[in-house]
Amino acid sequence: MTKTSRKKSTPKKNPTKRSGAKRLNLDELTRAVVKLFAANPTHTWNYKQVSKQLDITEQPMRQTISRILEVLEMDDTLIRVKPGTYRYNLSGALLFGTFERRSNGRNALISDEDGKSIFIAERNSMHALNGDRVQARLFAKRQGGELEGEVINIIERSKHTFVGRLEFKKDWAIFITEDRTLSTDILIPLSELNGAQRDSKVEVAITEWPSSDKIPTGRVLKVLGKAGDNDTEMRAILTEYNIDYGYPQAAIDEAEQLSGEITQEQLAQREDFREVPTLTIDPADAKDFDDALSYRDLGDGRHEVGVHIADVSYFVTEGSKIDEEAYARGTSVYLVDRTIPMLPEALCNNLCSLRPNEDKYAYSCILTLDNAAHVQQYRICRTVIRSDQRMTYEEAQDVIEGRSDTQQAIIQPLFELSQQLRKRRFDEGAIKFQSQEVRFVLDPKGRPTGVEEVIDNESHHLIEEFMLLANRTVAEDIGLVRAKGKKAKNFVYRVHAQPSEEKLMALASFAGKFGYKVNLSGENRQVSRSFNKLLDSVQGKREESLIETLAIRSMTRAEYSPDNIGHYGLSFAYYTHFTSPIRRYPDLMVHRLLTRYYAGGRSVTKGKLEEQCQHCSEQEQIATQAERDSIKYKQVEYMKARMGQVFDGVISGVAEWGLYVELKGSHCEGLIPIRKLEDDYFEYDEKNYRLRGRRTGKRYNLGDPITVRVARADLEQRQLDFDLV
């Protein structure tokens, strides 16, 4: 990324091009002018400037634009600032967008036109719910004030239900939810309880909310179980995110009718790898094995590594009941105590799973590497494989460290190659983020009894590097090699945008206070190397947690897209997801596209692919949020048994309402409310990520070590409160 000076924002041009401008009729040209002004509501223009923005040079059309501006002023779309110069009339302008309901009353409309946020006061919301598609009218903008408006029409209700508990009165029940998108309780008539009892946790839908009423009326859709019960609380989390924890019977029946028999017809179309040494390496508690590795020494310093992936696309055909359900889910969901699979169990744990000593269909990336782990040749093909052994990461690590000779002839050369791949990846600019993960030890009822740290060792790196290499090779094959310098066929890429210069500058400025330098000039690879140098430099230092936290926050989020912009974090120009079709729908899409393109098929429609990629990215985020909520629940449950105990931790977040603290060892996070800091009046210093005492000057900085006592553990709100010791 090159360092650039800051410039004033430039107006957003209308996409109308000069080559097509001649074909615009009067209505089309008028719409183009309105769109230009609406996208730049604070800019003022005369007809010459508008013409330039629309790339129109012909004098007759420029004169037409002059007349259009006069007409738009007459119907109040534009305001004349001075003779011949106009700006957009925000007062009374109508716009469409998505409503965001917020518990603090700061509701907002996210405009379809430009993504801007318009404040909608509760009294002007028409009781729109979070996610509703609405039409709104803008109010006149006060000088120095924010954009504000009112909802005038609810176009489409979002599919939204709420999870919570009931309080019973004499003739009705009150539904209370911790959902932050709803700032009110819901009245439930006794006739609409659907069998709910006083200790029930329930799912509720709003049935009526007249504009004159402050509280809506609703009905119980589903009784999730007894509040506080582990199964109930996990189901409640899934229900909050609209994740179905059951599988439709039609899809289950369809899956059970499928056969994994290796047919002669399929053998004739596939490469047979059943005699090639092959194994899987997975966590000890894994049930679905969607990747396997094979190895052959080809002699002369050449190695054949096969990355074999479960051929889910053979079993799951487009448009089938299983496919429809898998697409709707988008991904498997991993809560602390259970997995909600993307595919029916008959597929994910049986037919597709690359279980040992069973013949299985696979989609494979066969790589020929030299001693330095450079790819000499590759081919992507459908295969039949037979895994010789299912190994855990711990067992593979024993082989790497010389404590076991099981499958040493495969694991040792794979390990040596993976180490070279890993070193080269970081040398070429991949970011060295190190995440610390913990796993709860649960009793038979799902209650947490202990916490274990998940160790990321060489056996994990072995698998990771070959999965990354296969994903990269597949993406390069479609996006680069087969394109042969022409436009590549539409494909699913896993993309990661480079961080904004503003965020990087903020990180560099803050790190500079500790004496560290981050180079923001030069190419992405140079910036990445400087980034990694910073992360290496802070290891073991007091500011390690602080700098690492800010570095992670400076990154954008990876997503799926048909538009390849590369993967910044991995420093790959081409990258996709090919290696986990049992648990990720985009991988299944990639397998289908490979089959289509290798058979000579035409490029798929980009519009549909774009829609599918966006859906899968959204489902991935939903799954991540549900997983975090389940972890948070178990953290609170774990600490509830340790009320009053004292723990060491580190300040993991700073806000105007208090300090977030992550405990050492367990990584449980809780809040010290600012009201508990009684020895001074503390003010929030957002720029420096700290609270500062007005009288004493005492500071609480992000990343500081701190000692706390467990003061409150609220399972319903999934919230821990700490006292400062």
DSSP for residue 641 = T
From CA 99, how far away is CA 120, in angstroms rounded?
A: 9
From CA 125, how far away is CA 152, in angstroms rounded?
A: 8
Beta-sheet pairing, 699-701 with 705-714: unpaired
3-class SS of residue 613: helix
pLDDT of the residue at 1: 36
pLDDT of the residue at 6: 36
Asked, colleague to colleague, whether 26-88 and 94-156 share their fold, the answer is no
pLDDT of the residue at 101: 82
pLDDT of the residue at 157: 81
From CA 368, how far away is CA 305, in angstroms rounded?
A: 6
pLDDT of the residue at 143: 54
Beta-sheet pairing, 271-272 with 375-386: parallel
Q: Is 65 exposed, middle or buried (CB count within 10 Å of its CB: 0-12, 13-18, 19+)? A: buried
Q: How confident is the model over 605-647, as pLDDT tens digits?
A: 999 999 999 999 999 999 999 999 999 999 999 999 999 999 9
- Name the residue among 591, 706, 722, 590 with its Cα closest to residue 669: 722
Residue corresponding to tokens 């409150």: 712
Q: Which CATH superfamily hosts domain 94-156?
A: Nucleic acid-binding proteins (2.40.50.140)
Residue corresponding to tokens 């007349």: 67
pLDDT of the residue at 571: 92
Question: Concatenated DSSP letters for 672-706?
Answer: EEGGG-TTS-EEEETTTTEEEETTT--EEETT-EE
CA Rg value for the chain: 29
Domain boundaries, the chain: 26-88, 94-156, 161-227, 249-493+568-623, 642-724
Which residues share a beta bridge with 272?
384
Alpha carbon of residue 500 to chain centroid? 18
Give the class (CATH, top level) of 161-227.
mainly beta
141 phi and psi, to 5 degrees? -80, 125
Q: How confident is the model over 132-144, as pLDDT tens digits?
A: 888 888 776 555 5
Interior CA angle at 289 toward 287 and 290, to 5°?
Answer: 140
Contact 352, 288 (CB under 8 A): yes
pLDDT of the residue at 122: 81
CATH number, domain 642-724: 2.40.50.140
The amino acid that residue 31 corresponds to is R
Contact 112, 145 (CB under 8 A): no
Q: Within the chain, which residues score under 70 in pLDDT? A: 1-24, 75-76, 90-93, 103-105, 140-145, 435, 520-522
Domain covering 26-88: architecture = Orthogonal Bundle (1.10)
